[in-house]
């Protein structure tokens, strides 16, 4: 019986091709057009998006990207490429990178795997906690990518790994290493990307997954309840998002006796604008201005050995009996 070759599709959200207003505008237009991200009626949303949001936000966001842009490119792309190469070397399987928005597209990644003879494709979204706004959006893009293909590969999807032992261990090792090098603060703040509360009310399990990750991390690090906390960042618009909000929490912590703070963003598999600029930039300023003395940002797992080991394990576990 012929053994069918399996390929791996690592999927992430995406990034502008360049730190320019034009490139950022193109990326944001694709991103914010997705109804998984913004589910407002198109008749209402599109005029607001194209008439107000994109013209105003694109130049400002481009400047923020310029501050974090690496020599090799966008941090999200640089670290994702490193993950791709590392997983490929460890598994010996074809591994391609596909972005939900921007380049490289899901379609180009799948076509590349097919050209390498892959009849089966394991899709691994780099989102530990499932959300319709991220993980499900990957599924949508994959479906759209193969819609007109004459031969569709057999697919298997990884929905989440928020409580996977190796994931929690990778986070814990990263935190312990940071503590050994920089000392330990009064509180470990786990800041997750937020979503509108309405999405969770309608059934999105994302907040449950986030709180479960923090709980597992607390147990692994043997922390008391007052030594670790969960918050949500990056809210947009006027409606209520998941709470407690990261920025509002940072304003209050110094008055509660938390002067030295450690912050990690467990929902992000790689450092990006939301971690490097928002957390390590804006949030740092908020905490210090409120009376905080020390703000330590713990980087994302990126291409840490423990993280690559986790990704390798996820791949092997999901294809071993396929």
Strand partners, 70: 73
Task: Kindly give the interhelix angle for 106-115 and 135-145, rounded to the nearest 10 degrees.
Answer: 60
Q: Is 154 labelled a binding residue?
A: no
Give the residue among 191, 190, 196 at the shortest CA–CA distance from 278.
Answer: 191
Answer whether 130's CB lies under 8 Å from 199's CB.
Answer: no
Angle at 120 between CA 116 and CA 122, to 5 degrees: 105
**Helix extents (H) in the chain:** 21-33, 42-48, 54-68, 75-91, 106-115, 135-145, 165-182, 197-201, 206-221, 246-252, 273, 284-289, 305-319
Q: How far apart are CA 235 and CA 195, in angstroms?
A: 7
Q: Is 33 labelled a binding residue?
A: no
Numbered residues of the known binding site: 193, 274
Residues making up the annotated binding site for Fe(2+) are: 193, 274
């Amino acid at each position: 019986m012929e053994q069918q070759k399996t390929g791996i599709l690592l999927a992430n959200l995406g990034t502008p091709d360049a730190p320019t207003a034009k490139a950022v505008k193109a990326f944001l237009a694709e991103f914010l057009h997705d109804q998984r991200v913004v589910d407002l009626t198109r008749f209402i949303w599109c005029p607001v998006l194209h008439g107000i949001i994109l013209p105003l936000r694109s130049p400002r966001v481009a400047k923020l990207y310029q501050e974090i842009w690496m020599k090799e490119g966008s941090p999200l792309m640089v670290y994702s490429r490193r993950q791709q190469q590392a997983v490929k070397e460890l598994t010996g399987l074809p591994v391609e990178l596909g972005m939900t928005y921007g380049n490289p597209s899901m379609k180009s990644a799948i076509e590349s795997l097919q050209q390498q003879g892959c009849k089966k494709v394991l899709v691994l979204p780099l989102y530990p906690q499932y959300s319709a706004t991220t993980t499900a959006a990957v599924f949508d893009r994959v479906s759209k990518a193969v819609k007109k293909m004459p031969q569709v590969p057999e697919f298997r999807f990884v929905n989440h790994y928020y409580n996977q032992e190796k994931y929690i261990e990778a986070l814990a090792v990263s935190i312990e290493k940071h503590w050994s090098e920089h000392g330990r603060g009064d509180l470990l703040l786990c800041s997750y990307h937020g979503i509108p509360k309405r999405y969770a009310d309608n059934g999105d399990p994302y907040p449950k997954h986030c709180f479960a990750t923090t709980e597992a991390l607390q147990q692994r690090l043997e922390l008391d309840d007052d030594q670790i906390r969960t918050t949500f960042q990056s809210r947009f618009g006027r409606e209520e998002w998941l709470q407690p909000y990261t920025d509002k929490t940072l304003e209050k912590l110094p008055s509660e006796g938390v002067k030295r703070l450690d912050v990690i963003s467990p929902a992000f598999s790689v450092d990006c604008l939301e971690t490097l600029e928002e957390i390590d930039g804006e949030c740092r300023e908020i905490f210090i201005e409120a009376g905080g003395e020390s703000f330590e940002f713990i980087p994302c797992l990126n291409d840490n050995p423990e993280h690559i080991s986790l990704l390798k394990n996820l791949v092997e576990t999901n294809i071993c009996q396929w």
